[in-house]
Amino acid sequence: MNENGVEMKTRPAERPLADRFEEFLGGRLLAWIGGVATMLGIVFLVGIALERGWIDEPLRILLGFLGSTALLLVGAWLYERRGQTEAALAVVGSALAGLYTTLLVGTQVYDLIPAAAGLAAAGLVGVVGVAIAIRWESRIVAAVGILGGLLAPALVGTGATWLSVAFIAIALTTAVGVLLWRKWDWLSLGAFAVSAPQLLSWVEANQDQHLAATLGVLAGFWALYLVASIGYELRARTPDRLPLASLFLLLVNVVVIGGAGYLTLQHAGHPSVAVAWLLGLAAGHILLGALAFREAINAEVGSLLVAVGLGLSALGLADALDGPVLAVSWAAAAAALAYMASRASREPGLFGSSAQRLMAGAGACLGLGLGHVLLFEAPPEAIFSGVENLDEALIGLGACAAAAFYARFVLRDVEPYFSRVCEATGAAALLYLGSVAIVDTLGVTASGETRQIGQALLSAFWALTGLGAVVYGLLRDIQRLRIGGLALLTLAIAKVYTYDLAALEQLPRVISFIALGLLLLVGAFAYQRLQVGAREEGGEVAAR
């Protein structure tokens, strides 16, 4: 108690460094070193027995089963009855790995165990490992047993066979089962790091045979990796931030599985099916993300799934489509992401809030759409020589402008800065659309020759649009419109006094200068009148 009679909670005294080091060395490190030494000794003994012909193949498998099972029972008894020691955990983990390896050797190397029986036994070992890891809350048992089982095909060198990939699938399912129950993020990365290279090796070896079955295996592993990355959050409906490990696995899963299926189908001569594969994966992510939003399971998971799905669909559409249809598709994806961002959580999370990540995706899709239009349908030189197809240019630019303005509308209360960027992007797209239409319609003849009157009208269009923005900004007291209008007027002045003065003939040059001069005079008059009116109105308000 303190001097006022109030009971105070005391923090437990920190243990001396020497005590902690002694506990680590004597209670943990020695246990695992002993476990590894015991296993190596058994391996060396088996090696001598094989070399000298003491035991045949069936006896080897029988001894492997009996020894691993005995180790498992001894470790469980020690942990349950003699204290929860690291030595017991080491024994159990080694026993699980030994059972996995014995099953694989007996099934695949010696052909002593039927495939169905081997897979059933491997599933039983996996269930035992899951039960022990969950009951004891032991990450060590999970690591040694599950990851050891996943690594067993590579360790014994069974090759890229169907039985090997089935074995990996069973062990991976075991890992996913543990992840669904316990939030052990590192286990998801470990399971992926061990199993994915073996899966890719198997796909490469079997891509010329049983194409449909290969795609089915890839789809199954995609589902397992997806559950491993976000399964705990979906099951627990936790509002916590998604861990970095889960986010990384979610993204790498798309790259590995999507890329493997796409390249396999391309290699088999089915490019259209390869695109369908990407779009199918994209649809799966989007549907799951929509479900997470609708059922209020986890908004962050939902936003990530939708963003990944739309990003994957953008890649698929880029391969499948061409021309303005592709730009329209990307613009539609940007609008969809903007809508999702308007309804997503703004709570800080990993790499920003869910809304911010979705807005970043919307900006990326809008940038892809505009980039495609500027590269193909309406390149920058179009303001001098026109475009090959005006309808395609107008469709692409119009779709991007519409998506930008829609994003500005739905995000105006979510992120004002981003919404204003979208507003400026949409206005620039519309200005470029009008410029291209003027040059292509009035500045280029049917035979493809340029007409200088088009450049004079383009200068007038820029000046008139800038003047309109300035006047509207003054009337509505919107500074960003006034600044944008003045910037456009400056651009029009620079064009008239440089390009038009040097490149245009006499009559188009006269039209350009007169139009600019009149518009600037009108703008100056309107600016001064409106500014005087605003000052007088402000003075009257102050006098009152």
Q: With contact defined as beta carbons under 8 Å apart, do 123 and 170 qualify?
A: yes
Query: How does the average pLDDT of the chain come out, rounded?
Result: 80
Residue 287: CB atoms within 10 Å: 13
Q: Which amino acid is at 335?
A: A
Task: Tell me the three-class secondary structure of 84-100, residue by residue.
Answer: CCHHHHHHHHHHHHHHH
| pLDDT tens-digit series, residues 88-134 | 777 787 788 778 777 777 777 777 788 778 777 877 887 787 788 77
Is 80 exceeded by the pLDDT of residue 411? yes
Selected residue with higher pLDDT from 19 and 509: 509
Selected residue with higher pLDDT from 33 and 250: 250
Picking from 290, 302, 182, 306, the residue whose alpha carbon sits closest to that of residue 242 is: 302
CA distance 176 to 495: 64
DSSP 124-143: HHHHHHHHHHHHHT-HHHII
**Structure confidence at residue 28 (pLDDT):** 54
**Any alpha helices (H) in 295-381, and if so which ranges?**
299-320, 324-343, 354-372
Average pLDDT over residues 189-216: 88
pLDDT class for 543, splitting at 50, 70, 90? very low
**Structure confidence at residue 503 (pLDDT):** 86
Which H or E run contains 291? Answer: helix 271-294
Task: Tell me the three-class secondary structure of 187-239, residue by residue.
Answer: HHHHHHHHHHHHHHHHHHHHCCCCHHHHHHHHHHHHHHHHHHHHHHHHHHCCC
Q: With contact defined as beta carbons under 8 Å apart, do 146 and 174 qualify?
A: yes
Is 60 exceeded by the pLDDT of residue 2? no
pLDDT class for 508, splitting at 50, 70, 90? confident
Picking from 110, 119, 131, 127, the residue whose alpha carbon sits closest to that of residue 60 is: 110
pLDDT class for 156, splitting at 50, 70, 90? low
Listed ranges 62-76, 105-119, 268-282, 301-315; the one with the highest mean pLDDT? 268-282
